[in-house]
Amino acid sequence: MLCVPVPLSDLNKVQIYPNALGVDRARMRLKQGGSDKLRGFFLPFTMGTHYCTLVFKDPALGQFVYELVADAALPAPQLETKGVVPLEGPHVYSLPIPWVNANLEAAKKMFSERHPLAKDKAQSALLKAAAPTASIEYTITQTNTLITCPRTVTLVASAGVDDAVGKKPSEDAASKSQPSRKQPGVKGGGDGSGGGGGENSVPLTLKPIGPGVYPSRLLLTSPTDVRVVDLELTSQVGVVWQGPDSMCVAGTWN
């Protein structure tokens, strides 16, 4: 019996990444009254609903069809950042954004190593063609009404891009004690604000209404990827401005 995965996609969209759904084999044999299992794989590169039709064909018995449906929600946060600002505001907080999307790079590696569609020449060609460009423009939304930010931002590639791909958490932690490499600045949009010089960053303006913690979740969306950043700013009396306190979680800057 031949098992053929047929992805269902929006024909009006240009496919950038490989299909998310796949199964571990193309053929299976069933005895009368028997059953067997197929191992399915789901590795989405884009959010939304993903479909795959499994067509089981037999020359003598005809064919039957299963449809697989899977939903992809927001990715795990790329950054989890904390900062402290004085109570007297407003204050502009420069949030550094790494050029490399470590979650995306990890997904590409996992696809190449474990996904059954990696053996498909057309699918693997899509993955190879999805190489990063010199710059990527993102639209930005965030959840705190007391914080304002640009509507768009453009991240620019740095000279250290290759070094950041595939790092282990221990390597990242070790690199934090070393002087950081300079990155081209970020281009802001929407409200006319821009990033600070020397690194990719997003300027955020906080207008505190009193001492306390002001959390926000930022969503950066581009035609090629989505990033989630969790930010927590603490405003209190009598403090001197402190820069971002970034932590390393799951091998990515957080």
Mind listing the pLDDT tens digit for each residue in 202-219? 999 999 999 999 999 999
pTM as predicted: 0.73
As a whole number of Å, the CA-based R_g of the chain is 23
Q: Is the Cβ–Cβ distance between 227 and 202 less than 8 Å?
A: no
pLDDT at 162: 43
pLDDT at 99: 92
pLDDT at 237: 81
User: Which are the contacts of 162, defined by CB distance < 8 A and separation ≥ 6?
Assistant: none
pLDDT at 5: 56
Residue ranges of the chain with pLDDT lower than 50? 1-3, 9-11, 159-197, 242, 246-254
By three-state DSSP, how is residue 206 classified? strand
pLDDT at 64: 87
Q: What is the largest CA-CA distance in the chain?
A: 82
User: Which are the contacts of 2, defined by CB distance < 8 A and separation ≥ 6?
Assistant: 26, 27, 55, 56, 57, 58
